[in-house]
Every structure is written in C-alpha cells, then in structure tokens.
Amino acid sequence: MGKVQGLKCPKCARSYPVEIKEPRCAECHATLEVEVDLSGLKREGPDLFLRREDRSIWRWREFLSIEKEEAIVTLGEGGTPLLPAGRLRQEVRGADLYLKNDTLLPTGSLKDRSNAVGISRAVEEGQDVVAVASTGNAASSVAAYAARAGLQSVVFVPEATAPEKVVQAASYGARIVRVQADYDGTAHLYGQALKSFGWYNCLSSNPFRNEGKKSYAYEIWTDLDGQVPDWVIHPTAGGTGPAACWKGFNELYRLGWIDRLPRIVVVQAAACAPIVESFQAGRDEILPVEPRQTIAESIRVGGPSTMAWRALQAARDSGGMAVALSEVEIERSQSLLARKAGIFAEPAGAISLGAAIRLAQDGLIHPGHVVVAVITGHGLKQPPSDLTLPIAIPPDLTSLGKALQVS
Ligand SMILES: Cc1ncc(COP(=O)(O)O)c(C=O)c1O
C-alpha cells in the first residue's frame, strides 16, 4: 500500500501535516498535493507491478494515497484498453494514434479513477457522508463508490445536466441537489454547504482523490510495452486529469523506469476555455470566464478549481499545448470516434481526438509520433440530440425493402 508522507504545496513547497482541515496552502492558496513515499520502489523495480495479475488501478497501490488495504473501495476501475486507432490514422496525418478508452470504467467516465481513491480515503478516515458538485459524471461516480462502501452521498448538479447522468446518480442512492445555476453557481452553493454540514469533500480540492488519475501514466506506459508516448491529450475542466497524468509520468521518470516524458495537451471547448486562454496569453494564473453554450457540457466550468493551474503547468513544463475546439470540431470528434473507431463517447469525452487532428493539421504532431487521446465519458450519458429514431416498419420484407429503399 502507499505510504503517505504528508501534504505539500506544489507552488511554494511548504509542507503540511495530513490532518489539516483545509488542504490549501496558507500562503499561496493552492490545493495541496499528497506526497507518497516512493523511495522503496527504486529497490523493487517495475517487476513488482508487472508481475501482478490485477489490472485495476490497485495494481499500482504503492503509488496511491491509501495506506490500509481493508479500506479499498473498488469496482474494478482501471486497466481500460489502449486501442490503436487504425482507421483514424489519416485524420492525424500518419501519427500512431491510440485511444485510451475510459468510457469502459465502471460508471462510464474517468471520474472512477479518482473516486475509487477518494472514497477509499473517506473509509480510512471513518467518514459517513460524502459529497460533490459536478457537471454529472463525478456525481454518478461518487454515488456508485459511496453505495459500494455503504456511505451516504450528496451530489450537487446544475439544473441543465443531462437527465441520463442524474438518473444514474439517483439509481445508486445519492441524495441529489439540482441547482438553478450553471456549474460555477452550483459549486458555490456546494462550497457553502460543505462548510455548514461537514461532509467529506470529493471535489478536486481533495488532494487524496486526485492521486487516482496518476494511474493513466502507469497504464499507458505498460500498454505501450515500456514506451513513452510523444503526446498525451486530455479533455479538461478542473484540470485533475492532465495534472495527475503528468505527475504519474514524472514519478516513473524519477524512479529511472522511463528516460523521457510525454508532452501533455489540455483540450477544452472554445465556448469555455479558461485554461487554454491562460496558456495562450502566457499567464500563470487562470482567470474565470463566462461560459457560453457548448455540447461538451461535462467540461463547461468557467471558474475552475485551484487545481487547474497544475494542468496549465503540465502543458507548459512538458512542452505540450492547450487547444480549444469549436462546436463543429467537437461534434466531428464524437462522430468520427463512433463511426471510425467503434467508441461511443459523450461530446466532452471525445474532444481529445479533435485536438489530435488539429495538432496534426498544424504540423505539431508528425507522422510516426505516438499519440494517446484519452476518451473520458460514455456516449450513453449524453446521447446526440440530432439523431432521430427511424420509423418502425411492419414485420414483412416489402416494408423492409421500402425502408431500405431497395424495393
Ligand atoms: C467526460 C469528462 N471528461 C473530462 C473531464 C475533465 O476532468 P477534470 O475536471 O479532471 O479536468 C470531465 C469532468 O467533469 C468529464 O466529465
């Protein structure tokens, strides 16, 4: 299991004890990071992990911020396929594109990587009620893991959240709070509620849950047989995915198990792209934006958390990029993924493909580059609204012929 050394501010390196109530730096207000002691792993080498048959994120348990094995709450998350995207190769001008299919996680989105760890930590701490504010995917993920652990969950979602996501969270027994606001307004109310009710917080301001997404790095590295990709592209709202992925690769690098690092790409919808705007403007801080409408509703977060600068930094430090996609590009990504790769993703979950296409068009991704696009949310969570069902036909061949227009 992991050995938690303490909490550390990633900005000013100030150390804090694990027990502090608000895991924020008193000086620079950044969300703190968990420091897991990895010194023993240098001696062990990667074989310790490669030998294990477990393909879930817990294969990598020494890297994760959970110390008691009996506290682990798992639905078998992790080990999702890394699929070569053969029929999409032309779209990315001959790059070796791989799709990391996280739509296959237990609740259908990337959020299970973090919540498996976050809820396990809640069990370690003896918490009873866990809570989150969400554009929908974290809500159902927290609700599922809470159900598994026997905890009560309370989830806050914006009124406009796709009903599929809300129904999913409700099915796991969550207490649902629908708020007449967008995500930012919902998160504001949630922050006040958290202070009043003292629930266990499952947002990205909880450093323990953020460690779960480091598992991307370990899985991509092993699935590529020890190769490090040139690019890893991640749909981004709060920023945990790209930041944790970068942290995971850096851990492998410091252990001496890899000899270079990938470039990290943050991708957002142009309608709501605060991190991309800061990247392009060369700013260090992220200024909130007023979100416009976008079909990528899961990443429609105008004022991202104090974690988001880590994603910005990951893109910069790695020599990567930050890309904002138009609505047309987002729709096309979703459609291409389904029709040419057999992966049905929600719009926000599909945009890493659109970013790969854009970067290839711009000449940044070259033929032969190894590119991993993380696909982060299942299409059934927010099905395309423009696809209508065909009219049902009587059960005879004449009607079938007419319907297929081959009479
Ligand atoms: C489908 C999907 N992809 C990506 C993200 C972005 O994740 P993060 O908040 O870690 O940036 C979200 C967040 O809700 C999501 O639901």
Q: 225-271 pLDDT, tens per residue?
A: 999 999 999 999 999 999 999 999 999 999 999 999 999 999 999 99
- How does residue 406 score in pLDDT terms, banded at 50, 70 and 90? low
Q: Which two tokens stand for residue 388?
A: 């209508």
Note the pLDDT tens digit of each residue in 376-385: 999 999 988 8
What is d(CA 111, CA 138) in angstroms, rounded to the nearest whole number?
Answer: 5
Q: Which atom of ligand 1 is nearest to the CA of 137?
A: 16
Mean pLDDT of the chain: 95
State the distance from the centre of ligand 1 to the C-alpha of 238, rounded, in angstroms.
Answer: 7
For a pocket test of ligand 1, which of 107, 109, 140 has the largest count of ligand atoms closer than 8 A to its C-beta? 109
pTM of model > 0.85: yes
What is d(CA 391, CA 388) in angstroms, rounded to the nearest whole number?
Answer: 9
Question: Residue 116: which of 213, 236, 239 has the closest Cα?
Answer: 213
For the chain, give me the number of helices (H) and strands (E)?
A: 14, 13
**Is 234:242 a contact under the CB 8 Å cutoff?**
yes
Ligand 1 contact via 245 beta carbon (within 6 Å): no
Q: How many alpha carbons fall within 13 Å on the CB side of residue 289?
A: 21
Q: Please check the confidence at residue 304 and state whether its pLDDT lies above 80.
A: no
Q: Which atom of ligand 1 is nearest to the CA of 304?
A: 9
Q: What backbone phi and psi angles, to 5 degrees, belong to 278?
A: -65, -40
The domains of the chain, with CATH numbers, are 82-108+209-282+308-381 (3.40.50.1100)
Q: Which atom of ligand 1 is nearest to the CA of 305?
A: 9
Ligand 1 contact via 235 beta carbon (within 6 Å): yes
Name residue, tokens 């995207």: 85
Q: Which two tokens stand for residue 208?
A: 């323990």
Name residue, tokens 């049902």: 392
Query: Helices 240-254 & 308-317, crossing angle to 10 degrees?
Result: 50
Question: Residue 27: which of 14, 43, 39, 46 has the closest Cα?
Answer: 14
Average pLDDT over residues 26-41: 92
